[in-house]
Amino acid sequence: MGTDYWLVHARWTIPPSLVLWFFFRKLRTPRDVYKTCFLITLREDAHTLHKQATIPWDSYLIRNRIWSYPQSSVVGPTLFAIPYEEIFFFFIQTYLTATVYALFTRPVVHAVLLPRMPEEGRATRWVGTAGFLAVTAAAVAKLKEGGEGTYLALIVGWVAPFLALLWFITSNHILAMPPYAVVLPILLPTLYLWECDARALQRGTWVIEQGTKLGLSFRGLEIEEAVFFLLTNVMVVFGLIACDYCLAVHDLRSYDKRTSSTFPPLSQFIPILINCPDAKQRQCIDDLRHALDVLEVHSKSFSTASMVFDGRLRLDLLALYAWCRVCDDLVDNASSVPVASSNIDLIRRFLSLVYPSDPSNPVALPTRPSGRELNEVLGDLSENEKGAFRLLTLLPISRPPLDELIEGFETDLRFLALSSGAATQTGPRAAASLPIRTDEDLLTYSNNVASSVADLCVQLVWAHTSSSASSSSERTAILSAARTMGKALQLVNIARDVPADQRIHRMYLPATPLDAPLRALTQERRRLLDLAKAMAGQSRSEIERLPKEARGGIRAACDVYLSIGEAVAQALEEGRIEDRARVNKATRAWTAWSAL
């Protein structure tokens, strides 16, 4: 009886697990828990078959004296001849690798990686599967031969069939993912466990018997052990990718079914595996890809904050923000006032098509018009712009906040009209002709362009979370707080963009002429930042009553944007009045993590 093996855990496996738990605990979603538990426990799921086979395989190694543990290394109790210390190793290795994978794949939106056509990657799938099966056959032949190399053949012969299965299911998804998101979750735990295993072998905590190993080693690490940890981590990562692939297909299929659930029922498992994307699904994949491209360029803060959401909620938030961005560009980047006005009319016609019932109905959800009807309304928009409009028809949101957004676009149109012709005069008279003359005008504008979006975001949260406010009064209070927070974030945006807006003949500061010296506006910009901070503080307590699945993500998204306000205040304090204050990606990520 001994404790060497438990000391290995105390020194090598438990500390990094606790560190990873601490740093990842705020980012962990129900799906992360779901995937890790499926890999650790003996659940009836295709992605955990390798764990079901681990215990009999390891038991065979021990009973046939290929692998052994000195009495001084283990406490004594066993399960099928396997020490409990070894069984614990199965679990904690899976947890380590799964958590590293979850950290590196947090930025990945798996739905946009799904193949559009069934023939995509078919050759790669079959060649890779055939290769793993050939390796399996070679390992079986070596086992029949026996002698040196038996242990390596047992490792490869045990792993290769499962890798063949996982590769056949998800090879397209594996290859579509960013290389770092696949390689690093395999490589980092493998290198760490190689060092751990080499130390344990040198101490004699466990022993590979002579006669079945090749006898090749590096720095005390046997070649068989190096292959074992590499291949088992490949299995874990491939299993997690298979999980993400299935969940992404489930999310995509949920658009057709007009349902939303975090996990697919077991009855849907086989249909998901054999899913062949139809024309609607292919179009949705393309539209989501374009939406993600738009946000990665034009809304980095939201792109960062969206990482804390999961599943359909994340996809729908991305789609909503992309549509808002596209509509904003249709007005702001129009070549002339008539073109911008025509684009606003286009948006109105689109909403009338999608919401054919009473437009004031606060609960009516969008219909899904045919492609021909959409093309008739959307006219000469680019295919990417049309994609954002198509995505909006899939979202469970009501029309009133969208109409408020159009009113905000009309205010921007008035600015465009002023800057394009006669009303370019300066001085007090020019300030009186601007659309925003009082604080009330400013708050109305902020309500239209930002509170409306906050309202829509809360609607999506309620549509995609299992727990939600039970009473109408509670929902009203939460929605009011969210709209107040939206105004606060818009005030931050206005205070930051004063120099840029002034260059394009816009002035959102109340009663301020277009030609006002920028330095003279510093105090007013600070006032807006202080007002935004106060409004955000007032709304926090109600926002904390959002469903727990989204509460942390909404808080993180708000704090990431409010951090821009702090950067603007610092720039003004330092006299950098013309700078468009930015927050780097690392700071945004830390702010989001701290807010969770």
The secondary element (H helix, E strand) that includes residue 130 is: helix 122-145
pLDDT of 50 reads 40
DSSP string, 239-308: HHHHHHHHHHHHHHHHHHHT---SS--GGGHHHHHT----HHHHHHHHHHHHHHHHHHHH-HHHHHHGGG
The secondary element (H helix, E strand) that includes residue 224 is: helix 223-257
DSSP annotation of 366 reads: P
The phi-psi region of residue 501 (left if phi > 0; otherwise alpha if psi is between -120 and 50; otherwise beta) is alpha
Which residues pair with residue 82 across a beta bridge? 79
Could you tell me which residues come within 8 angstroms of residue 1 by beta carbon, excluding any fewer than 6 positions away? 71, 72, 74, 75, 76
Nearest to 185 by CA among 243, 93, 108, 101: 101
How far is the CA of 265 from the CAs of 205, 246, 249, 272, 347, in angstroms?
Answer: 44, 12, 13, 10, 38
Q: How many CA atoms lie within 13 A of 445 on its CB side?
A: 24
pLDDT of 148 reads 82
pLDDT of 422 reads 44
pLDDT of 446 reads 94
pTM of this prediction? 0.86
pLDDT tens per residue across all 596 residues of the chain: 677 788 888 888 899 999 999 888 877 888 888 888 777 664 333 333 344 456 666 666 666 666 666 666 776 676 666 777 777 888 899 999 999 999 999 889 999 999 877 777 788 999 999 999 999 999 999 888 877 888 888 889 888 999 999 999 899 999 999 999 999 999 999 999 999 888 877 777 767 667 677 778 788 888 888 998 999 999 999 999 999 999 999 999 988 887 778 788 777 777 887 788 888 889 999 999 999 888 877 766 676 667 778 889 999 999 999 999 999 999 988 888 899 999 999 999 999 999 987 666 667 788 888 889 999 999 889 988 999 999 999 999 999 999 999 999 999 888 888 776 544 445 554 555 678 889 999 999 999 999 999 999 999 999 888 765 567 888 889 999 999 999 999 999 999 999 988 888 888 999 888 888 988 899 999 999 999 999 999 998 888 888 887 888 888 888 888 888 898 989 888 888 888 777 877 787 777 777 77
The tokens describing 283, both together, are 């179009």
C-alpha span between 320 and 395 (Å, rounded): 8
C-alpha span between 247 and 396 (Å, rounded): 20
CATH topology of domain 283-420+428-595: Farnesyl Diphosphate Synthase (1.10.600)
Instruction: Estimate to the nearest angstrom the gap between the alpha carbon of 509 and the chain centroid.
Output: 36
Exposed e or buried b per residue across 372-410, where buried means at least 16 C-beta atoms within 10 angstroms of its C-beta: eebeebbeebeebbbbbbbbbbbbebbbbbbbbbbebbe
CA angle 288–253–479, rounded 5-degree value: 65
Which residues pair with residue 78 across a beta bridge? 83
pLDDT of 69 reads 67
Domain boundaries, the chain: 3-251, 283-420+428-595
